Amino acid sequence: MTGQEELCANIDLTCVGHYGGFAEGVVLDSRFMHVIPDGLASENAAPLLCAGVTVFSPLLHYANATSRVGVMGVGGLGHLALQFANKMGCAVTAFSTTEAKRDEAMQIGTHHFVNGKDADAMKKARRSCDLIIATAPASIDWTPYVRALRPNGVLCFVGVPGAPVSVHVAFLQGNQAISGSSIGGRHLMRQMLDFSAQHDIVAWTESMPMDSVNTALDRLRKNDVRYRFVLEK
C-alpha cells in the first residue's frame, strides 16, 4: 500500500459514515485515540490534542533547558507555548501587539514581555532568542523578529500568515533560519500529554453545553474567548 492509499484508508476509517465533531458519539480506530493521563481534566486536555502538540513539537526540535525562547502571539497556541517553554526550563519572552496580554503572559510563566508595536522595545530585543515560535496568523514586517534571533536561531511558524513571508537575506548572516513545523504523530502526542500532566500545563478553557454551540461560534468571531471553548454534553 502506498502512503497516499494508506492515508485515504485512514480517512475512511475515521470519517466516512460517522457524524463528526458535534455528534454525541463516534466509532474510531484505536490508532486515532489517546488515553488522557490521570490528573488532566478532559476539558483542559481536549485543546492540547491540537494546539498543544502544535507548539510542543518545535520546542522539542529546536530548544533545550538553556534556550531563550520567544513566543509571538499570546492566544490559543501562544498561551500553551509559554507554559511548555517555562516548564522545560527555558528563558521565556512573550511578543504581543496587545499590551493587555502582559499580565496574562506573566501569569503563565513568561519572564519578559515585549510589545511588538513598540519599535524601541523590539530594538532592545535584538539577538535575544534562540527560538521564536510564531503562533499568530498575522501579516506583518517580520524583520524585527528575525533580528531578535541569536546566531543559529530559528523563527518557526506554527500559525499561517495571510500573506507570504518576506525577509531580507542580509538579516540571516548568523546562520539564522526560518522554518515550519511537522506538528507531531502519535508518539509525540503521548509525550506532550504526559508532560502536561506532570507539569500541570492546561489550556485555558470555557466550557459550554453542546446546544450553545452557535453562541460559542458567535463569541469566537468576536474574539471573545480566553482561549478555548469546550462543548460538553
* Strand 112-115, strand 149-157: pairing: unpaired
For residue 29, what pLDDT is reported?
81
Confidence bin at 19 (pLDDT 50/70/90): low
Cell of 26: 463516534
pLDDT of 7 higher than 50: no
Determine the longest span between alpha carbons in the chain, in angstroms: 56
| Domains in the chain, CATH or no CATH each | 1-33 (no CATH), 42-179 (3.40.50.720)
Contact yes or no for 71/133 (Cβ under 8 A):
yes
User: 131 or 40: which carries more pLDDT confidence?
Assistant: 131
pLDDT of 18 higher than 80: no
Lowest-confidence pick of 96-100, 151-155, 158-162:
158-162
Contact yes or no for 68/114 (Cβ under 8 A):
no
Contact yes or no for 167/142 (Cβ under 8 A):
yes
